Amino acid sequence: MQTKKQSIIESITNTAVGYFISLLSLFVIFPPLGISSSPGKNITISLYFTAISIARGYVLRRFFNNKHNKTMNINQTNKNEHERLKYLIENEQDEFSKKCLQDDLNELEANPKKYWMRFKLDAFQPGDIIETQRVNTIAVIQKFYSNN
């Protein structure tokens, strides 16, 4: 993953190379096409498209980095939930509760989206910070799956 600073440096470097290639290509391609231009006009045209290219490269890089980060966070949350359910199953004494937890685990493994989307957040009455964090986590995951 890149920082914002690394993204802009990469974008500028990539675009600087592209700028010189573009500038040279204008001198090569305009004459055979019958387009009269001066070196000053070619530089202006190349600079304009270079500025657009830098902005485009930066915005796209940040978009894909953010999308990748969200997916990684969801995958880690699914892994954590898997471990939590396994722990609860191993330590549960009541067979019915153990079966319910195992059903939850099976559903999480088979279809994480379905597992998370079944929670009705308005039914929760968080009493402590851990339960409040769990409700917040479920809300974020449901938003992610609703958008994907």
The verdict on residue 115 lying in a domain is no
Instruction: Give the pLDDT confidence of 8-36 residue by residue, as tens digits.
Output: 888 788 888 988 998 999 999 999 999 99
> Averaged over 73-96, what is the pLDDT?
86
Which are the contacts of 105, defined by CB distance < 8 A and separation ≥ 6?
A: 82, 85, 86, 89
Query: Is residue 32 situated within a structural domain?
Result: yes
What is the pLDDT averaged over residues 87-112?
88
Query: Is 14 within the bounds of a domain?
Result: yes
% of the chain surpassing 70 pLDDT: 86
Domain annotation covers residue 85: yes
Q: Residue range 88-113: average pLDDT?
A: 87
CA distance 31 to 67: 44
pLDDT of residue 121: 65
Q: Which amino acid is at 81?
A: E
Task: In whole angstroms, give the CA distance from residue 62 to residue 134.
Answer: 28
Of 111-115, 121-125, 131-135, 136-140, the poorest mean pLDDT is in 121-125
Total domains, the chain: 1
* pLDDT of 40 strictly over 90: yes
pLDDT of residue 63: 81
Domain ranges, residue 16: 4-110
Which position has the token pair 């910070």?
A: 129
Q: Looking at the domain assignment, is residue 53 inside a domain?
A: yes
Q: Which residue has the higher pLDDT, 129 or 22?
A: 22
Q: Is residue 75 part of a domain?
A: yes
Mean pLDDT, all residues of the chain: 82
With respect to residue 133, please indicate whether it lies within any of the assigned structural domains. no
